[in-house]
Amino acid sequence: MNFLDRMMVISKREAEERKRMLPVENLERLIDDRPAPPSFGAALSRKGGVLKVIAEVKRASPSAGRIRGEVDPYSLVDGYRRAGAAAASIITCGRYFEGSLEDLKSASNVEAFPILRKDFVSNPYQVLESRAFGASSVLLISDALEEKELKRLIALALSIDLEPLVEVHTYDALAKALFCGAEIIGINNRDLKTLEVDLSTTERLIRHIPEGFAVVSESGIKTSDDARRMEMLGVDALLIGEALMRAEDPERALSDFISEIILRSCANAGSQPDLVVRRKPK
């Protein structure tokens, strides 16, 4: 069994355990008591401006091991907000990543700031959890879900004011995501089956995404040169985790990174070459 399949099994089992302690009706009451979250999709819109950044809280990963020990999700996410991030990503998976739903709950207390819940989501209960614990968006992995499941989870998310980020790594997964109604596409440069990273994945897939869809490039983006490459491909936002979490001061590291993006964008204003990839009309 590859890594992705194994994690989907683990995550589903953990969700079933949580469901026994916090039934669906309890989640629905929590959702009813929460106002609509800030829009994740609106936060990612470039509208002719510079690249947006989704900054991640990531204690550990299967490929890198422990990245950062003690983490206060609220303080870290509030720092990301001050540094200019458009949104934050919270990994809630415990196995290999050392995350939890409490991290999501804490981070969602940062006022008017959209939060993406990242986990290996396979069922409606996890989507409801995401909204109940304060997320604006939930990650759905197209490669890991059957067409009927993906369509159902996207529809459920939208019905409770979540704007799902549908992650793809292959053309078939992208075609499935678009057919099932995804509006925000995350291109993961990391193959979750082998854990290998290749930034050219974004270049291969973005040409097949019509204009009008928000596109996020995920994994492997570490330098302003990487960011410039993604900008020239027409990407709307970058999801960055490990590079920030390894920094002595993540807020300062993010602020410097965003400043570099802005400076390079301004320097190229008026003389910016054509996009490397032309996307087809929606």
Confidence of residue 70 (pLDDT cuts 50, 70, 90): confident
Whether the predicted model's global pTM rises above the 0.75 cut: yes
Q: Is residue 271 pLDDT above 50, yes or no?
A: no
| Confidence (pLDDT) at 48 | 62
Once rounded to an integer, what is the mean pLDDT over residues 81-86? 97
Answer whether residue 275 is part of any domain.
no
Answer whether residue 273 is part of any domain.
no
Share of the chain above pLDDT 90, in %: 81
How far lies 21's CA from each of 17, 25, 76, 136, 160, in Å?
7, 11, 29, 24, 22
Q: Is the dihedral of CA 172, 189, 274, 87 positive or negative?
A: positive
* Unique residue bearing structure tokens 């091991």: 65
**What are the residue numbers of the active site?**
56, 58, 118, 167, 188, 218-219
| Confidence (pLDDT) at 261 | 86
Average pLDDT, the chain: 92
Once rounded to an integer, what is the mean pLDDT over residues 204-227? 93
Task: Specify the number of domains making up the chain.
Answer: 1
Q: How many other C-beta atoms are found inside a 10 Å radius of the C-beta of residue 271? A: 6
Token pair for residue 80? 């990301």
Answer whether residue 281 is part of any domain.
no
Between CA 219 and CA 81 the distance in angstroms is 20
Q: Is residue 30 pLDDT above 70, yes or no?
A: yes
Q: 76: domain CATH number?
A: 3.20.20.70
Answer whether residue 180 is part of any domain.
yes
Are residues 163 and 137 in contact, defined by beta-carbon separation less than 8 angstroms? yes
**Chain segment 227-259, per-residue pLDDT in tens:** 989 998 999 999 999 999 999 999 999 999 999
Answer whether residue 276 is part of any domain.
no
- Amino acid present at 16: E
Once rounded to an integer, what is the mean pLDDT over residues 76-82? 98
**Chain segment 143-180, per-residue pLDDT in tens:** 999 999 999 999 999 999 999 999 999 999 999 999 99
Task: Average the pLDDT over each of 12-21, 72-81, 221-230 and give the range with the smallest value.
Answer: 221-230
Answer whether residue 91 is part of any domain.
yes
Domain of residue 90: give its range: 3-34+43-267
| Confidence (pLDDT) at 273 | 44
Confidence of residue 265 (pLDDT cuts 50, 70, 90): confident
Q: Is residue 184 pLDDT above 90, yes or no?
A: yes
Answer whether residue 274 is part of any domain.
no
In sequence order, the 6+-apart residues with CB closer than 8 A to the CB of 90 are 56, 57, 73, 77, 99, 103, 104, 107, 115, 116, 117, 118, 135
SS3 of the chain: the string is: CCHHHHHHHHHHHHHHHHHHHCCHHHHHHHHHHCCCCCCHHHHHCCCCCCCEEEEEECCEECCCEECCCCCCHHHHHHHHHHHCCCEEEEECCCCCCCCCHHHHHHHCCCCCCCEEEECCCCCHHHHHHHHHCCCCEEEEEHHHCCHHHHHHHHHHHHHCCCCCEEEECCHHHHHHHHHCCCCEEEEECECCCCCCECCHHHHHHHCCCCCCCEEEEECCCCCHHHHHHHHHCCCCEEEECHHHHCCCCHHHHHHHHHHHHHHHHHHCCCCCCCCCCCCCCC
